[in-house]
Amino acid sequence: MNQSTKSILLWGAVILGIVAMVWGLASLGSGDGSATTTLNNGITDIDHVDGPRDAKVVLVEYSDFQCPACSAMYPIVKQLAEAFPNDLAVIYRHYPLRSIHGNAQLSAQAAEAAARQASFWEMHGVLFNTQSQWSNLQDPTDFFVSLASSIGLDTEQFKTELTSKEVENVVNNSYDEASRMRISGTPTFFLNGESIQNPGSYTAFKALIQSAIDAQ
């Protein structure tokens, strides 16, 4: 093997290593999240529920507001809730991937602070819709306050609760629960308590929900 061939092989190995590393990091938020267990708890008093609490089908999403794949799924999940207003309950639970998303924790706290003013889903929507504007900010606090103002919240109350221990604990408890369940990425979905692979498209997801409704 001549020197030129050795160099080509060496650089090939380096490139493959880089590709593998990038893929591994990306997969944490790729939408292929899964869990090795089923959900033991149904709808709780602290859950954020879009839809009737006595719905035939319950879809639980563990998600991260800074996760690009979660942002891509946001309009799909919203459409599902609108398509099945009487039969589907959508639950959002926090799983901020802090190791790769520097603003994930605070964005989750922003949603919880908004929930203290009965506006969780409004903040949920604007956080995903503006993700590209705040995800790379060194400190997104002022941006989140501006979002709170845009949806009509009391901004002084919002600022106080954004970093309160109570709000932080809500997010941390959800994160700890997801970690205990060995959820590997976001978004991760459970349909009537069973972990499912992300269908990826509205059409496929709608068919899955319809099948679950028909099975009741």
The CATH number of whichever domain residue 132 belongs to comes to 3.40.30.10
Residue 93 counted as domain residue:
yes
Which residues are within 8 A (CB) of 206 and not within 5 positions of it... i.e. 6 or more apart?
Answer: 79, 80, 83
Please tell me whether residue 160 adopts helix, strand or coil conformation. Answer: helix
Counting Cβ atoms within 10 Å, is residue 101 exposed (0-12), middle (13-18) or buried (19+)? Answer: buried
Between CA 172 and CA 108 the distance in angstroms is 10
Mean pLDDT (whole number) for 131-152: 99
Residue 18 counted as domain residue:
no
pLDDT of residue 1: 54
Q: What percent of the chain has pLDDT over 90?
A: 78
Give pLDDT tens digits for 166-180. Answer: 999 999 999 999 999
Model pTM? 0.83
Residue 108 counted as domain residue:
yes
Percent of the chain as helix, strand, coil, to the nearest 5: 55, 10, 35
CA distance from start to end of the chain: 66
Residue 26 counted as domain residue:
no
Residue 43 counted as domain residue:
no
Q: Is the pLDDT of residue 33 over 50?
A: yes
Query: What DSSP state is assigned to residue 138?
Result: S
List the structure tokens of 80.
């599902």
Please tell me whether residue 99 adopts helix, strand or coil conformation. Answer: coil
Residue 162 counted as domain residue:
yes
Structural domain harbouring 129: 48-214
- The alpha carbon of 72 is separated from its chain's Cα centroid by a whole number of angstroms, namely 10
Mean pLDDT (whole number) for 116-124: 99
Residue 98 counted as domain residue:
yes
Q: Which residues pair with 188 in a beta bridge?
A: 62
* Number of compact structural domains in the chain: 1
Residue 87 counted as domain residue:
yes
